[in-house]
Structure formats: C-alpha cells, structure tokens
C-alpha cells in the first residue's frame, strides 16, 4: 500500500496536471508581485524561487518521460510525423523560458544614470560614460505627456562614441547595453554666498542636498519642485500646469542632522540662513536612464518560438497513423 502511494505521488509529480497547478500558482505569484512596493526583492524570495525550481523539475521530468513516446509516435505515423513532438516541444519551450528568466535575474546587469542636458556620468564600473545631449518632453494640449525622448552619447575608454535616442518603449543600444528612458524630474542650480561672495554653485536634483564649503554640517535639501506654484483652498501646494510660470522649490534646512526649518524658495531670490545666502535658479528637467544588459534575451526568444511551434504542432499538425492503426496513438499518462 505504501509503495503504491509513493508510485502514485511520483506519477502525479511528473504529470501535466501538476504542471498546470504549478503554472497557476506562479501566475498568482506574478500578479501579487505586480502589487508590491519592492517587486525585485519579492521575486528574489526563496519561496518564489522554490516554486519556479519545482516547476522546472516537473517540466524536465515530463519532457524526459514524454520523449520516448513522442519518438514512437513519430515512427508509427504515416503523415504529419513532426506533430508527434508537439507536446514535447511545448514542455521544452516552457522549461527553457523559465531557466532563461532565472539565468537573466542572475547574469543581467542593471545601472542607472541621471542628469541634465550636457552632463556626462560614468556608468558604474563598466568603463563606459554616458552624456545626456538633450532631453525633450512632448506634451499634448491638455498638458499630459505624449513622449519623453533623450538624445544620448555613450563612450568607452578608447574614446569611441555611439549616439542615438532613447524614448519610452524604444531603447537605444550601445556597446551591448540597452539604454531605456525611465523617468524624469527637476533640478535647480543652487548658489551659496557668504558675505556677498559666491562660495560654490551646485546643480541639485530633487532629493539631493548641498552645503557651504566651510560648514558641511549646514545642509539644504531640495525636496520638491512646483513649476507653476499655487495653493488650494486648504493651503496645500500644487502646480497648476507643468509649465515654468511661477516656479517654487520646497527646501529643508538641517544642522548636524537636525531639521531646522522648511520653506518655499522663489527663483533668484536669496534665502538667508545664518550668514549664508542660498539662491535657487535655472530650473531644468533631468532624465533618468536605465542601462541594462541581459545575455539570456536570445535564449528566451528562442524558447518562446519553440513553445509556440510545439503548441501549433500539438493542435494543428497532429500525426496521422493510417486506417490500420486508427486509435493507436501512444500517450504518457497526461504528460
């Protein structure tokens, strides 16, 4: 009895029923992952990887079990013989897609670079540099965004340059990397004066800070930018349009890590903090570019073609065995 239960469990583990159950579980996991705040950490969790690993093992065993049956059906078929491998190719394609996805998570490289037009930044430790030549936001009449487009130049250590455009859903390719237009934001130039003498000027993006050279413990954070500043009936700030009509910058002053105050700065109007004057000016949109290289893309693409071919063959190119062998097709217990 115990041996029969074990045998039935093994048969179920390498059956199509179990494959479908695992696929439904993973689909549910993917739907849930799209709703979490940190999807990368979610999909890297041990239990998500365990579910994917069990499915891979199931598909591998199904493929191994199905192959001799497919070969025998191919041998016995009188026409459309290739269709005997339809189910087997479908299993193989699904397996390769999952393995390619797992390998991509391990082997892919992801970097981000952001800056205003004219800025040039290193791409982490790749030895490449990225210059943002221009950045354009094309808007509709109702001020909704139609397209973001960045003109970029990538350069390697030898001085070779590749220029192109990256827009939403249309990446630029350079030196084996795909460059994606990801997001945008605002930057201000902040001048710091002491006693009427310019001490330093920094281009500061939202979320960054600057400080006087002789007092780094006094820090000014650039919290938020309002291109067309206004207050609603409750006194809450908002931007009436995305156009630069009445720009204001929300900033926070801290000293030795303790917040001392928060206010809105108009452009080119000094903000006095002790003996220092901070001047916000020249609001400029910056762009964030995601740089990615995934060596498994071609494998996943090939796997998808294999799976589609298997589905077509299984449903529309079924082998024909002749009248003398009618009903004689072999099966492998729902795999």
pLDDT of residue 63: 78
Each residue's pLDDT tens digit, 191-206 = 999 999 999 999 999 9
pLDDT of residue 333: 44
Average pLDDT over residues 87-113: 84
Closest CA to 325 of 72, 153, 56: 72
Of 29-38, 56-65, 247-256, where does the model show the most confidence?
Answer: 247-256
Given a cut of 90, is residue 55 above it in pLDDT?
A: no
Q: Do residues 150 and 137 touch, judged by C-beta distance below 8 A?
A: no
pLDDT of residue 94: 83
Tell me the C-alpha distance between 40 and 126, whole Å: 22
Mean pLDDT is lowest, of 2-6, 258-262, 290-294, 314-318, for 2-6
Each residue's pLDDT tens digit, 277-331 = 999 999 999 999 999 998 888 888 899 999 899 889 988 888 888 665 544 455 5
Tell me the C-alpha distance between 150 and 138, whole Å: 11
DSSP letter at 219 equals E
Of 62-66, 99-103, 237-241, 325-329, where does the model show the most confidence?
Answer: 237-241
Closest CA to 241 of 253, 227, 231, 254: 227
Q: Do residues 179 and 167 touch, judged by C-beta distance below 8 A?
A: no
Average pLDDT over residues 92-103: 83
pLDDT of residue 10: 64
Mean pLDDT is lowest, of 40-49, 200-209, 243-252, for 40-49
- What mean pLDDT is reported for the chain? 86
Q: Is pLDDT larger for residue 75 or for residue 248?
A: 248
Each residue's pLDDT tens digit, 72-83 = 888 888 888 888
Token pair 């589609």: residue: 308
pTM over 0.95: no
Mean pLDDT is lowest, of 29-33, 213-217, 221-225, for 29-33
Sign for the pseudo-dihedral over CA of 59, 60, 65, 67: positive
Each residue's pLDDT tens digit, 147-174 = 889 999 999 988 899 999 998 889 999 9
22 to 28, 54, 106, 127, 256: CA distances (angstroms)? 10, 8, 22, 42, 54
């Amino acid at each position: 009895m115990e041996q029969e239960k074990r045998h039935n469990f093994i048969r179920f583990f390498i059956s199509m029923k179990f494959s479908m159950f695992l696929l439904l579980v993973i689909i549910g996991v993917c739907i849930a992952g799209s709703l979490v705040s940190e999807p990368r950490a979610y999909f890297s969790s041990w239990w998500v990887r365990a579910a994917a690993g069990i499915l891979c093992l199931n598909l591998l065993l199904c493929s191994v079990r199905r192959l001799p049956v497919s070969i025998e059906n191919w041998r016995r078929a009188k026409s459309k013989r290739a269709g005997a491998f339809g189910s087997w190719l479908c299993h193989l394609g699904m397996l390769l897609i999952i393995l390619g996805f797992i390998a991509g998570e391990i082997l892919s490289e992801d970097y981000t670079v952001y800056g205003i037009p004219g800025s040039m930044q290193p791409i982490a430790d790749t030895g490449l540099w990225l210059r943002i030549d221009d950045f354009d936001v094309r808007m509709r009449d109702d001020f909704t965004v139609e397209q973001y487009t960045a003109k970029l130049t990538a350069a390697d250590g030898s001085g070779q340059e590749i220029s192109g455009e990256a827009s939403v859903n249309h990446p630029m390719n350079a030196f084996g990397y795909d460059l994606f237009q990801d997001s945008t934001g605002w930057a201000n130039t902040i001048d710091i004066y002491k006693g009427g003498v310019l001490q330093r000027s920094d281009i500061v993006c939202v979320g960054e800070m600057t400080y006087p050279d002789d007092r780094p413990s006094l820090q000014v954070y650039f919290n938020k930018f309002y291109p067309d500043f206004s207050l609603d009936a409750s006194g809450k700030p908002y931007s009436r349009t995305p156009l630069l009509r009445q720009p204001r910058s929300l900033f926070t002053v801290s000293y030795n890590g303790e917040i001392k105050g928060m206010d809105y700065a108009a452009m080119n109007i000094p903000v006095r903090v002790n003996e220092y004057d901070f001047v916000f000016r020249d609001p400029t949109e910056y762009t964030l570019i995601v740089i990615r290289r995934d060596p498994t893309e071609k494998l996943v693409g090939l796997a998808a073609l294999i799976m589609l071919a298997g589905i077509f063959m299984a449903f529309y190119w079924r082998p024909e065995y002749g009248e003398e062998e009618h009903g004689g097709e072999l099966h492998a217990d729902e795999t």
